[in-house]
Structure 1
Amino acid sequence: MDEPDVPPPYGLSDLPSLSSLRRDSSLTAPTDTDRTGCLLVKRRTYLKLLGSVGSSAAIAGCETRAGTENPTVSTPKKSTLTPEPALRLTVLNAVEDLGMDPTGHEPIDEVLDETYDDHTAIEFPPGEYLVTREHDWDRGVENFRLVGLGKSHKDVQFVFPRNDPGEQFRMFRITSGSYHVLKNFSLQQTDDRTTSADIWLANTDGALIEDVEWLGRTPSDNDARNQLLLFDCTSVDGVNVARRVYMREGAELTGYPNGVAGIRITERSVGEVKMIDCHIEQRGSSSFRATHTQGVLRVEGGLFKNNDNTNMRISGGDHPSKSSWIKDATVIVDDNDLNEHARDGDRLHSPAGLLIDSTGNGYSGVLIEDCDFIYKSSPSARAIISTSPPTWGGHGSFTLRNCRIQNDTSVQTIHADTVDTDTTEKPWGATLDNVSITGQCTEQPYDSAVVIGKNRNGSKIVDSCIHLPRGYVGGVLVEGAEGCSIENSTINVSGAPTQTRDADLSLQNVSYTGTCAFKDQ
């Protein structure tokens, strides 16, 4: 994948560059202002004052010219309203203003902790910056930005000392606050078997992680945490975004449950998390997982390839007004095509494509739309697309719409497992709308490509096509479900087109000849 063109730092494009700001240690005649007329504060200018007046006092006010202690703002004569003060952003150059070492030899930890504050942006020139310990920040900070200045996100890299065996290193643990921006840099895990670095970012709203990559090989969870990025939105109305996050340089493929996942959204998340155009490849476990979350995960675009255990794992969530979705994403599993970062002996163990799972919460309703699932070679796996079994808590309804599935393997194509009606919210049905299933597979574990399990009442297949003419492969099996239907669809398979077991299945305008012509509506 080509490196993305990196736009100006998020939220900073309308501000003067650091080079345009003049230092003035007297603090009495600021000459550089932002477009509101307020000074863009630089940390080095104020360090000498901290001992006597404190940083908050040092940067208070918005002077319009030298010597003006109580500036006035022009307002209409009849107005009695006092205008709100303009928000001030302190923009700091990591090297010039904060003295950080861009060669990766001297730690930046102390300065980083001291600088973490409200309305503060740290800009990192290209280089390597050494982080030697966890930064545990729970201060309720608002509007903090850590931004690389390189043309590529690989121009600024955070590096780490070699981890001792069993050490699980966390770079950031940010568990409060809002509007944090982490942008345009990489984390260099190196290629040894123990070094890793993860981030935990939980904001109430406005968090953005953009153009960030984990480089190097990720160890097993003996030497790393369960995921590289833990990303939660902790207010119901909040929206946090991960855009162009890359994890594609491989990991220890140890098999479940010892692999490290990519991105995880936890039960602490009650708002909306977006993942946009992310590329996650060859993780030791799920590329992303959002099964416990009370909020929602919305995935838009992205490539998820050869991730062991599951490539995508999601639930409908329990948000009062939103549901989860995955749109325009691609899943590829090809055990014969591990990328150039694989090592001798690396192999996949059980790479499911999509697991719809609420881990005992009984959630229902998730949309998978305009997605491609391509299975070229694979060891055994639960299915390309499946719901978790009721022993795991299961999941209710889901919809596949405008999706293409290519199955050249013996992995089950779709398995909508049994629903536990005592614990799972209605509705329970599975919907396939304009779904194309093709490929070279010659057998299926359940004989049929699509399996609708017990209690999935009201399941339906509409405007869809199954074309699997090789070996012995059936089309659709419905077990113990009522009110199910197949309409305006083609089922051209080498086995039985449809089968039922204690189920109610109606057929309307179903063809048993022809190939799949996907209708891109």
Structure 2
Amino acid sequence: MSPHNGEGHGRDRNGYDYPTDDEEEYTQHTENGAGFDRRSFLKFAGVATAGLAATGLSGTAGAVPTRDSFSFDRVVNAVEDLGMDPNGNTPIDDALDGALQSGTLVEFPPGTYFVQNTHSIAGMSNVGIRGTGENWRDVTFRSPQGRATGLLSTGGSGGRNVLVENLSVDNRNDDSTLVWFRLSCQGGVLVRDVEWLGRTPPDDDKGYNLTVEAFDRDGVNLVENVRTGLDASATTVEYPDGVQFVRGGPSHKGETVIRDAKIHNHNSAAMRYTQGGVVTVENSEFVNNQNANLRFTGGDHPDKHSSATGCYVKVDDSATDVGDAIRVDSSGQGQSGAVFRDIVIEWDDQSGRGVIAFPSWGDHGRAEFYNCVVRNDSPSATVNATSTSASDDAVVFENCSFTGDGGGFFADDRPGSVIRDSCIGIPDATIEGFETENVSDSACRTPSDVEGNGSGGDETSDETDGSAETDSTDETTDLPNELVVQGTGTATRYAFTVSEELAPVASTIESHDTVDGSTVEAWVTTSSHVDEFAFAGSITAFEYLEGGPAEITLNGESVAAEDLVDTNDGPTAEVTVTETDGLTAELSAEESSDPDGSIESYEWAVGDETYAGSTATHTFGDAGTYAVSLTVSDDDGASASATTDVSVSDESRLRIQGAGTPTQVFVEVSGELTAVEDTIEPWDEVGDASATVWVTDSEDVDEFTFTGELTTVEFDGGDADIFLDGSAVDPSSVGSTDETPKDLEIRGTGAPTQVAVAVDGELTAVEDTIEEWDEVGDTSATVWVTDGDDVDRFTFTGELTTLEFIEGEAAVAVDGTAVEPSEL
């Protein structure tokens, strides 16, 4: 593996090293009849653990938080003490809400935990959650499909000393599920060893994965070894519909340190701190992130400036819409002083505003770059720092190296800008606005010359990835079979299982590939991307999870994926929820396997009701979470079952989003209106069925859930975007009672037929089609028709509720579509 491939490493952090507790005190306590077991004693007696020093953070203002910074009064086990389900079937929300309080650490044993609601820790101090597994993927939190759920949120109330450590959250592989954290505190936030799995969706409900802010000037937060996009790329979107990964807003006044992060394939800014306090980015890796990779300002802190050191940025996916590798952006605040040291950038085939850019909206002050190495093989400018504001000042590059076939360097209207003691190996590069001092054009450094390439450590590092342990093998092995999977130009995620032993050829496997026992889940892309495996036994399953096909070679012979599996262990069952609409869920067995086409039956069970077939539709009586089971059986008597939880709600969701101008919006519903936590400001007024709120730009969003119908949307100046259950709504159409009448046609088919119809709106006969023996009322009619020339016609509003053939049979159509009595 070359030192500049952008994969980097992750650190092996095995959690706290707890000491042996005081056995004598414990024994005396239980012998005196208290009746607590050992863990209960720790919980109720408030025993502090090693690495969680009793001093808290009270004397460490301004220091970067560490594991030793926290003091917890109690440490509780999520399963043993709180009764949470580690299998992901039963929601843990009530137990988690009851446990989260100041002075409490909740520890989660390995497993999957299902959360449905956002959990508030507003105003709390020394509180946290932590996985106890050997790596962060051992503990995973999942939320309901199709929902943005906050695992922990301080809201705008703040708090102090919040720990989130050694766990993962699952965005699933759909386009709508998101798990997020908002940790806006006075200071002392530590987010460590946390990975976002699955595919990041568009910004339908929440604009970020992680917010970390320090409200106090001397507050410091640490975000260390966080990861995203290593197992699946985010859903590709057009700006501004992506989800920022880690961000701070204008309420951030202190410092956030981002260290050893790996942020890949995200669909918006990898990190953004463009207002308020400062951010310090160290030894982090940014690969193929849409919009921007490093995006921050110098900050307005009185003693500190934002900086990035030892970071690696790579963009080589032409399908990724990337604006820039580094965006110096103070969002019109005129903040100055950002510093970049030892940054390595590889930039291919992009046409953004520039590899290093200062956006056109202006007021981006001084920035300095030291010892940076940039390769630009695109038409984009290498540096685009042309000023649009009188407050912009110098941009300095010192001891930097630039190579490739890219564009030039522009710093018009920035007096004092200079490139010194540097190498520019870009043919015919235009230089405008920069002075040059001691600049050569030969023997420039390239990214491949940089050891470790800024990606978090050198090649001898003992750090490891958080994915499951792999039984890697040498280039030779005594296992009898060889499987080779080669890319064909399309990003392809595949999975397979063997019946006996499996070992990958270590040099061919990347950090985002997973080998777990006899099962593999991995990616290939281009024809130069090859994964190799040795195995014993046979291949029992192979499938493409995304993309495909790939070139597959088994023991030296080319083979199609469908011909790999030569054993039949019977079918497998998997429940897929394809859609939920209100209280109705559409269910599918499409992910179930039928290896030889022998499945004879699909049987669904929802409570006491059962359905047959590979798909099913079920309407639940009330909102809630329900277990849905599927059993498949083949003609040999083999069967398999699967169960999943389906959450349904009779509530609608309303989103009010700013459109660029300050706007007052009044909304009213026919039922009950509830504000979504963390989206409402103090000046907004919210009642039981109506609200008056203010919004400004697209990042200013107010959200509500409600029952009944949305009856009123009014603007007092300006404009805003209104979304109902994720779909844009024309405010002028809200509350309108106008309805286009539907056409109802009753045509004879050859025999005298008496037909009864009824609607839940208004029924009107079409002139000259009704005979004197027909009976027509305001909402219903009974008519006679005979042959195909005998037609009675009506228009109506609402829905057709009754269609009955009292005698004979007729052809009935609504707006040209045939209707049968059995359909009503």
| Contact persistence 2:47–2:73 (CA under 8 A) | no
Q: Structure 2: how far apart are the matches of 1:326 and 1:462?
A: 20
In the alignment, does 2:299 pair up with 1:317?
A: yes
| Contact persistence 1:466–1:475 (CA under 8 A) | no
- Cα gap change, 1:311/1:61 in structure 2, threshold over 3 Å: closer, same or farther? closer
Residue 103 (structure 1) aligns with = 87
- Cα gap change, 1:439/1:17 in structure 2, threshold over 3 Å: closer, same or farther? farther
Residue 299 (structure 1) aligns with = 281
Matches within 5 A, 1:59-458: 89-138=73-122, 140-163=123-146, 167-175=147-155, 176-222=158-204, 224-248=205-229, 249-292=232-275, 294-335=276-317, 347-378=319-350, 380-389=351-360, 392-421=361-390, 424=391, 428-441=393-406, 444=407, 449-454=408-413, 456-458=414-416
Q: Which protein, 1 or 2, shows the higher relative CO under an 8 Å CA cutoff with sep ≥ 6?
A: 1
Runs of 4+ aligned residues of structure 1 deviating over 6 Å after TM superposition are 17-23, 29-33
| Contact persistence 2:278–2:301 (CA under 8 A) | yes
| Contact persistence 1:307–1:351 (CA under 8 A) | no
Deviation at 1:145, TM superposition (A): 2.3
Which amino acid is the alignment partner of residue 193 of structure 2?
D
- Cα gap change, 1:60/1:399 in structure 2, threshold over 3 Å: closer, same or farther? closer
- Cα gap change, 1:317/1:231 in structure 2, threshold over 3 Å: closer, same or farther? same
In the alignment, does 2:485 pair up with 1:485?
A: no
- For structure 2, list consecutive stretches of 5 or more residues without a partner in the other structure: 1-6, 49-69, 451-824
Deviation at 1:29, TM superposition (A): 8.9
Residue 613 (structure 2) aligns with = none
Deviation at 1:4, TM superposition (A): 3.4
Deviation at 1:199, TM superposition (A): 0.8
Which amino acid is the alignment partner of residue 204 of structure 1?
Q
Q: Structure 1: how far apart are the matches of 2:71 and 2:373?
A: 48
- Report the secondary structure of 1:41's partner residue: helix
Deviation at 1:349, TM superposition (A): 2.1
CA-to-aligned-CA distance 1:337-388 (integer Å, 9 cap, x gap): xxxxxxxxxx31234111101001110110011001101232x211100112
- Report the secondary structure of 1:243's partner residue: strand
- Cα gap change, 1:213/1:488 in structure 2, threshold over 3 Å: closer, same or farther? same
- Report the secondary structure of 1:137's partner residue: coil
Deviation at 1:489, TM superposition (A): 1.3
- Cα gap change, 1:330/1:61 in structure 2, threshold over 3 Å: closer, same or farther? closer
- Report the secondary structure of 1:214's partner residue: strand
- Cα gap change, 1:516/1:204 in structure 2, threshold over 3 Å: closer, same or farther? same
Q: Structure 2: how far apart are the matches of 1:517 and 1:88?
A: 50
Residue 516 (structure 1) aligns with = 444
Residue 502 (structure 1) aligns with = none
| Contact persistence 2:200–2:235 (CA under 8 A) | yes
CA-to-aligned-CA distance 1:127-161 (integer Å, 9 cap, x gap): 000101111221x2211121101111000000111
Q: Given the alignment, which residue of 413, 419, 426 partners 1:468? A: 426
- Cα gap change, 1:405/1:239 in structure 2, threshold over 3 Å: closer, same or farther? same
Query: TM-score, normalised to structure 1's length?
Result: 0.74
Residue 13 (structure 1) aligns with = 17
Q: Structure 1: how far apart are the matches of 2:377 and 2:8?
A: 28
Q: Structure 2: how far apart are the matches of 1:202 and 1:517?
A: 41
Q: Structure 1: how far apart are the matches of 2:136 and 2:71?
A: 28
Residue 61 (structure 2) aligns with = none
- Report the secondary structure of 2:145's partner residue: coil
- Report the secondary structure of 1:112's partner residue: helix
Which amino acid is the alignment partner of residue 219 of structure 2?
G
Residue 71 (structure 1) aligns with = none
Q: Structure 2: how far apart are the matches of 1:475 and 1:27?
A: 84
- Cα gap change, 1:221/1:371 in structure 2, threshold over 3 Å: closer, same or farther? same
Query: TM-score, normalised to structure 2's length?
Result: 0.48
Q: Structure 2: how far apart are the matches of 1:302 and 1:398?
A: 20
| Contact persistence 2:46–2:75 (CA under 8 A) | no
- Report the secondary structure of 2:181's partner residue: strand
Q: Structure 1: how far apart are the matches of 2:141 and 2:47?
A: 35
| Contact persistence 2:329–2:358 (CA under 8 A) | yes
| Contact persistence 2:8–2:285 (CA under 8 A) | no
Q: Structure 1: how far apart are the matches of 2:206 and 2:105?
A: 28
| Contact persistence 2:331–2:363 (CA under 8 A) | yes
Residue 41 (structure 1) aligns with = 42
| Contact persistence 2:46–2:72 (CA under 8 A) | no
- Cα gap change, 1:306/1:517 in structure 2, threshold over 3 Å: closer, same or farther? closer
Q: Structure 2: how far apart are the matches of 1:452 and 1:486?
A: 12
Q: Structure 2: how far apart are the matches of 1:452 and 1:302?
A: 27
Corresponding residue pairs, total: 415
- For structure 1, list consecutive stretches of 5 or more residues without a partner in the other structure: 34-38, 47-58, 63-85, 337-346, 479-483, 493-513
Deviation at 1:417, TM superposition (A): 2.1
- Report the secondary structure of 1:228's partner residue: strand
RMSD over aligned CA atoms reads: 2.9
Deviation at 1:88, TM superposition (A): 5.5
- Cα gap change, 1:219/1:147 in structure 2, threshold over 3 Å: closer, same or farther? same
Q: Structure 2: how far apart are the matches of 1:295 and 1:216?
A: 31
| Contact persistence 1:197–1:228 (CA under 8 A) | yes
CA-to-aligned-CA distance 1:481-517 (integer Å, 9 cap, x gap): xxx6321111x3xxxxxxxxxxxxxxxxxxxxx3315
Percent identity of paired positions between Structure 1 and Structure 2: 31
Which amino acid is the alignment partner of residue 515 of structure 1?
A
Which amino acid is the alignment partner of residue 294 of structure 2?
M
Q: Structure 2: how far apart are the matches of 1:489 and 1:221?
A: 44
Q: Structure 2: how far apart are the matches of 1:250 and 1:151?
A: 25
- Cα gap change, 1:31/1:225 in structure 2, threshold over 3 Å: closer, same or farther? closer
